[in-house]
Copies of this chain bind each other. A is one copy, B any other.
Amino acid sequence: MRVLMTGAAGMVGRKLTDRLVRDGTLNGRAITALDLHDIVPPASVDLPGAAVSVHSGDLAEPGAAAALTAAKPDVIFHLAGVVSGEAEADFDKGYRVNLDATRALFDAIRLAAYVPRVVFTSSIAVFGAPFPEIIPDEFHATPLTSYGAQKLMAETLLADYTRRGFFDGIGIRLPTICVRPGKPNLAASGFFSGIIREPLAGKEAILPVPRSVVHTHASPRSAVNFLIRAAEIDGALVGPRRNLTMPGVGVTVGEQIEALERIAGGDAVKLIREEPDATIWAIVQGWPTRFAATRARALGFAAETSFDEIIRAHIEDELEASRASSS
Chain A residues in the interface with B (C-beta under 8 A): 91, 128, 137-144, 146, 149, 152-153, 156-157, 159-160, 163-164, 240-241
Known: A128-B240, A157-B153. A138 touches B139 (CB 8 A): yes
A156-B153 in contact (CB<8A): yes
Task: A152 to B140: give the CA distance in the assembly, Å.
Answer: 12
Task: A163 to B147: give the CA distance in the assembly, Å.
Answer: 12
A143-B160 in contact (CB<8A): yes
Contacts of A144 in B (CB 8 A): 163, 240
| A298 nearest CB across to chain B (Å) | 15
Task: A293 to B156: give the CA distance in the assembly, Å.
Answer: 23
| A288 nearest CB across to chain B (Å) | 13
B156-A143 in contact (CB<8A): yes
| A81 nearest CB across to chain B (Å) | 16
A141-B143 in contact (CB<8A): no
Query: What is the copy number of this chain in the assembly?
Result: 2
Contacts of A143 in B (CB 8 A): 156, 159-160
Q: Pick 5 A–B contacts, CB within 8 A, sort by A.
A: A128-B240, A137-B140, A138-B139, A142-B240, A144-B240
Contacts of A153 in B (CB 8 A): 153, 156-157
Q: Contact check: which of B137, B139, B160 meets A146 at CB < 8 Å?
A: B160
B159-A149 in contact (CB<8A): yes
Q: Looking across the interface, which residue of chain B has its beta carbon closest to that of A153?
A: B153
B142-A140 in contact (CB<8A): no
Looking at A139, A153, A241, the one whose CB has the most chain B CB atoms below 10 A away is A153
| A239 nearest CB across to chain B (Å) | 10
Q: Contact check: which of B142, B149, B240 meets A241 at CB < 8 Å?
A: B142
B149-A157 in contact (CB<8A): yes
Task: A274 to B322: give the CA distance in the assembly, Å.
Answer: 75
Task: A48 to B177: give the CA distance in the assembly, Å.
Answer: 62
Task: A138 to B240: give the CA distance in the assembly, Å.
Answer: 20
Task: A156 to B159: give the CA distance in the assembly, Å.
Answer: 15
